[in-house]
Amino acid sequence: MTEKGVADPRSHKIEPLGKRHNRVVFSCGNDALNTYIQKRASQEAKKKIATTFVMANSPTSTVIGYYTLSATSILLADLPNETARKLPKYPHVPATLLGRLAIDRRYQGRGYGEVLIIDALRRALQATTEVASYAVVVDAINERARSFYAQYEFHAFPDRKLRLFLPMKTITSLFS
């Protein structure tokens, strides 16, 4: 527990979404993100579209926060010129999509988002031992979310300021 009697976000386990996780009351302040975890996440997992990872309250299994990972690609032409110059001249570069990341309102502002993003980056990096990925890509939902990702060294695509990427090389250095 922290000094305010709130559980330390690092003490919660992060795991794939399962039937036992209570997501009915999840509310992060964004209807699309709420609807996703409540109604669509399980179907997308079954169809192998995206894997949802959740942090849940231990006694009740109530979802505190979640994120999704899936495969994607980046058009080489969409990357900044200085980045694209260093890559093979394939039309597409493989990447990992951090599709969604949300924290229930009751837990926002307490470090849960940081714990989730670090876990997502660690999982994405681990996956590169079996499936290549140049970077983690995220589509920030708004300017506030863009600023959140920028703190972790994500870079904006030149023509899409809310689409950001973080090269695996940078992620590797974060964990070494």
Q: What is the pLDDT of residues 39-69, one digit of tens each?
A: 999 999 999 999 999 999 888 899 999 999 9
Q: Is 90 a catalytic residue?
A: no
Q: Does the pLDDT at position 8 exceed 80?
A: no
Phi, psi of 110 (to 5 degrees): -120, 10
Q: In this structure, what token pair is assigned to residue 81? A: 């010129």
- Selecting from 3.40.630.30, 3.40.50.1820, 3.40.50.720, 3.40.190.10, what CATH number does the domain 9-174 have? 3.40.630.30
Element holding 72 (H helix, E strand): strand 63-75
Q: Of the residues 67, 107, 112, 149, which is catalytic?
A: 149
**31-40: b or e for each residue (b if 16 or more CB lie within 10 Å)?**
eebbebbeee
Phi, psi of 144 (to 5 degrees): -60, -45
In the chain, where the domains are located: 9-174
Q: Does the pLDDT at position 4 exceed 50?
A: no
Smallest Cα–Cα separation from 124: which of 174, 82, 85?
174
Among 1-15, 48-62, 148-162, the range scoring the smallest mean pLDDT is 1-15
pLDDT on residue 3: 37
Element holding 42 (H helix, E strand): helix 41-46
Cα angle 155, 158, 161 (rounded to 5 degrees) comes to 65
Smallest Cα–Cα separation from 167: which of 121, 115, 130?
121
pLDDT on residue 12: 84
pTM: 0.91
